[in-house]
Chain A
């Protein structure tokens, strides 16, 4: 395997078999019983955008596998002085990077890195495009609760247009025949979203989205985005906020997921966030083994 095929740029370009392999390997990873698969390796975490969950989870994952990690954030680095993305990449390669994990506000930034720099690149979120590690950890969260993807219906509610989590989730779930319903107002869920993958449909009414749903994924809603799109937050809350009453419209054993950070009182109530059906913290826990698997794959140690 060359560095390119060990990179993880998007879910779209992975086939179902490869996804299952990563998911299975992730389930065998245990951060509390570390294996030195990355001993002596240098993992650079290159973060052009703020992140808590993804960054720390990649860092914990890399360290549990015995790697050295170096964090570079745009503030306080040469990036602030105007160094280009590729020059930063060449620099990290010269510093002996074995893996580069990159989070960037522009779609395709990881692809550009991967095309020019001969080091496995892991996309930790690129603009509005994809967030593949999140989709993989979410898939394992679903599999831990639902046994298999077969016959599942997943509803994703919120700001789909601006969500890389939603795009990655659609690609991943679609590859396993999952029925996916995207729900939100036109401004946040354009009709064109249905073209992203087979089996994706759009519902405007949250009750339609919830009916028969096994997995409900909520997305964070940023009030400044609503303002830009001339959506009244009160109106959004009235139509789409997940409340206990609404959640009853879904299947009894429906689980509720959210990639975080959550905004209580906006896309969901506290009652729902902390309720029996919530798997929000389980998602965070699954993040570490999933990212261990992704890193091990990057250095050719996924067996």
Chain B
């Protein structure tokens, strides 16, 4: 199967990254290494001072004391273009992505209009959008994401869509989901499900539990997520080559279903967000809508299940669900405020602070969840690895550096985050896309 490459045509000059500690789970490397990038590819990787062709590079990046990893991939971002440029643009969103160490972002199609046609896929990929990292569009699974009829998966895939989804809402009808998985299976195209039975979540603005009762807010039951995941897995198991990717999983029951599906060898993958491994419903104070997102922050047992699933391999990727909104869309009655928070610039630091430093998973596993894991979910060849010949996307970070995140300084157009002012450990120092440095701290 052929796929148009998202790579740049103009290549940066050769670059040597020297003195860093390379963590590349896809190549089983976790050691001090130097790397030569040339022609937009990884040209050579060797132990310190052993590069044979290192002299060819005019430019050097001193990575002493830093971790050098394959470029991070975010499977789930909302860059709001076309249509809602007051929230974010591809230019501002990819700038925030670069600052967060992401060299590739997969964009959600719930824009205005919905990205359900070849024209919009091409528009998204046009250099005129000003993206500074790779943009991999995900197309709508149904026309207008209305759930009525499937989009033209084949044409969308040929144009560059790497998956299909109706994100923001679920593909609710059994028959429609089955058709999507059937066609996706034929094309080897992942179907991304926003798992929420919306019939159970009408007028709900947070997780159903003691906190929602106390606050007088209608709560979304965990079952609204798990029943859809369970249904989708049952369908996927019956369809040849069906590829189901479950977005932003948040509940213990749904993770249990995914774990079972994986042991049954179903092609099921899933992602979790940094906020779901960091916060619970009870952390929200005073109706602060920066704690309002969908799926909502869950209970303590769900967070524990997310941590366990990150550790045991059930979870394939950390994805941000970066969902920018303007202040006036958030600073209002909690129940009326928009769902979603930004996440690109805090993801790695939250993973290091909450997962690695609290000894839930190794640093190599953190890197895998941002690189090889997501690359596998959506088949992004040449990405998520630093093996020779891979695309020269590299993320360089300091796993020990302490810093404070200030939303006001965020490169995203929007500042809707619950992590404003948080002291975090782990800082992105440089982001390299196709051999070109696009961000330096």
**Residues of chain A lying within 8 A (CB to CB) of residue B335:** 106-108, 127
Q: Which of B56-64, B210-218, B233-241 interfaces with chain A? A: B210-218
Q: Provide the A258-282 mask, 1 if CB < 8 A to any CB of B, else 0.
A: 0000000000000000000000000
Whole-angstrom CA separation of A12 from B213 in the bound complex: 13
The smallest beta-carbon distance between A219 and chain B, in angstroms, is: 14
Q: Provide the B191-212 mask, 1 if CB < 8 A to any CB of A, else 0.
A: 0000000000000000001100
Known: A164-B216, A192-B209. A107 touches B328 (CB 8 A): no
* Interface pair A196/B213, CB less than 8 Å apart: yes
Whole-angstrom CA separation of A127 from B333 in the bound complex: 10
Contact of A108 among B210, B213, B287 (CB under 8 A): B287
**Residues of chain A lying within 8 A (CB to CB) of residue B301:** none
Contact of A107 among B209, B215, B331, B332 (CB under 8 A): B215
Contact of B334 among A86, A108, A130 (CB under 8 A): A108
Q: Which residue of A lies closest to B328 (CB)?
A: A84
**Residues of chain A lying within 8 A (CB to CB) of residue B217:** 107-108, 127-129
Whole-angstrom CA separation of A129 from B287 in the bound complex: 11
Whole-angstrom CA separation of A242 from B234 in the bound complex: 49
**Residues of chain B lying within 8 A (CB to CB) of residue A98:** none
Whole-angstrom CA separation of A111 from B337 in the bound complex: 14
**Residues of chain A lying within 8 A (CB to CB) of residue B213:** 161, 190, 192-193, 195-196
**Residues of chain A lying within 8 A (CB to CB) of residue B328:** 84
Contact of A112 among B209, B210, B332 (CB under 8 A): B332
Known: A84-B328, A104-B333, A106-B334. A130 touches B210 (CB 8 A): no
Known: A106-B336, A108-B287, A111-B286. A126 touches B216 (CB 8 A): yes
Residues 321-348 of B at the A interface (beta carbon under 8 Å): 328, 331-336
Whole-angstrom CA separation of A31 from B9 in the bound complex: 81
Q: Provide the B213-245 mask, 1 if CB < 8 A to any CB of A, else 0.
A: 111111000000000000000000000000000
**Residues of chain A lying within 8 A (CB to CB) of residue B333:** 85, 104, 106, 108-109, 112
Whole-angstrom CA separation of A43 from B218 in the bound complex: 31
A116 at the interface (CB under 8 A from B): yes
A115 at the interface (CB under 8 A from B): yes
Q: Provide the A75-113 mask, 1 if CB < 8 A to any CB of B, else 0.
A: 000000000111000000000000000001011110110
The smallest beta-carbon distance between B387 and chain A, in angstroms, is: 51
Whole-angstrom CA separation of A84 from B332 in the bound complex: 7
Q: Which residue of A lies closest to B334 (CB)?
A: A108
Whole-angstrom CA separation of A112 from B209 in the bound complex: 22
* Interface pair A167/B331, CB less than 8 Å apart: no
Whole-angstrom CA separation of A84 from B326 in the bound complex: 14
**Residues of chain B lying within 8 A (CB to CB) of residue A129:** 215-217
Whole-angstrom CA separation of A84 from B214 in the bound complex: 25
Whole-angstrom CA separation of A109 from B217 in the bound complex: 12
The smallest beta-carbon distance between A154 and chain B, in angstroms, is: 19
* Interface pair A195/B214, CB less than 8 Å apart: yes
Contact of B210 among A116, A164, A167, A195 (CB under 8 A): A195
Q: Which residue of B lies closest to A115 (CB)?
A: B286
The smallest beta-carbon distance between B338 and chain A, in angstroms, is: 13
**Residues of chain B lying within 8 A (CB to CB) of residue A111:** 286-287
**Residues of chain B lying within 8 A (CB to CB) of residue A115:** 286
**Residues of chain A lying within 8 A (CB to CB) of residue B334:** 106-108, 112
Known: A85-B333, A86-B331. A107 touches B286 (CB 8 A): no
Whole-angstrom CA separation of A190 from B218 in the bound complex: 12
Residues 259-317 of B at the A interface (beta carbon under 8 Å): 286-287
Contact of A127 among B216, B331, B332 (CB under 8 A): B216
Known: A106-B333, A106-B336, A127-B335. A112 touches B287 (CB 8 A): yes
**Residues of chain B lying within 8 A (CB to CB) of residue A161:** 213
**Residues of chain B lying within 8 A (CB to CB) of residue A107:** 215-217, 287, 334-335
Contact of A196 among B214, B218, B331, B332 (CB under 8 A): B214
**Residues of chain B lying within 8 A (CB to CB) of residue A85:** 332-333
Whole-angstrom CA separation of A86 from B214 in the bound complex: 24
**Residues of chain A lying within 8 A (CB to CB) of residue B218:** 128
Q: Which residue of A lies closest to B217 (CB)?
A: A107
Whole-angstrom CA separation of A190 from B208 in the bound complex: 11
Contact of A86 among B215, B287, B332 (CB under 8 A): B332
* Interface pair B214/A167, CB less than 8 Å apart: yes
**Residues of chain A lying within 8 A (CB to CB) of residue B215:** 107-108, 129
With most chain B CB atoms within 10 A of its CB, the pick from A106, A108, A192, A193 is: A108
**Residues of chain B lying within 8 A (CB to CB) of residue A167:** 214, 216
Q: Which residue of A lies closest to B219 (CB)?
A: A192
Known: A192-B209, A195-B210. A116 touches B331 (CB 8 A): yes
Whole-angstrom CA separation of A116 from B332 in the bound complex: 10
Whole-angstrom CA separation of A104 from B287 in the bound complex: 14
Whole-angstrom CA separation of A145 from B129 in the bound complex: 72
Q: Which residue of B lies closest to A86 (CB)?
A: B331
Q: Which residue of A lies closest to B288 (CB)?
A: A115
Residues 21-46 of B at the A interface (beta carbon under 8 Å): none
Whole-angstrom CA separation of A84 from B216 in the bound complex: 21
Whole-angstrom CA separation of A112 from B336 in the bound complex: 12
With most chain A CB atoms within 10 A of its CB, the pick from B209, B213, B217 is: B213
Whole-angstrom CA separation of A3 from B209 in the bound complex: 32
* Interface pair B332/A128, CB less than 8 Å apart: no
**Residues of chain B lying within 8 A (CB to CB) of residue A112:** 287, 331-334
**Residues of chain B lying within 8 A (CB to CB) of residue A12:** 214
**Residues of chain B lying within 8 A (CB to CB) of residue A196:** 210, 213-214
Whole-angstrom CA separation of A84 from B327 in the bound complex: 12
Whole-angstrom CA separation of A129 from B218 in the bound complex: 10
The smallest beta-carbon distance between A79 and chain B, in angstroms, is: 12
The smallest beta-carbon distance between B43 and chain A, in angstroms, is: 55
Identify the 5 closest CB pairs spanning chains A and B, nearest first: A108-B287, A129-B216, A128-B216, A106-B333, A107-B216
Binding site for B on A (CB under 8 A): 12, 84-86, 104, 106-109, 111-112, 115-116, 126-130, 161, 164, 167, 190, 192-193, 195-196
CB pairs A–B below 8 angstroms (13 shown): A84-B332, A107-B334, A108-B286, A108-B287, A108-B335, A111-B286, A111-B287, A112-B334, A116-B331, A127-B335, A128-B218, A129-B217, A193-B213
Known contacts A108-B215, A112-B332, then 20 further A-B pairs from the complex at CB < 8 Å, ordered by chain A residue: A84-B332, A86-B331, A86-B332, A107-B335, A108-B334, A108-B335, A111-B286, A111-B287, A112-B287, A115-B286, A129-B216, A129-B217, A164-B216, A167-B214, A192-B210, A192-B213, A193-B213, A195-B214, A196-B210, A196-B213
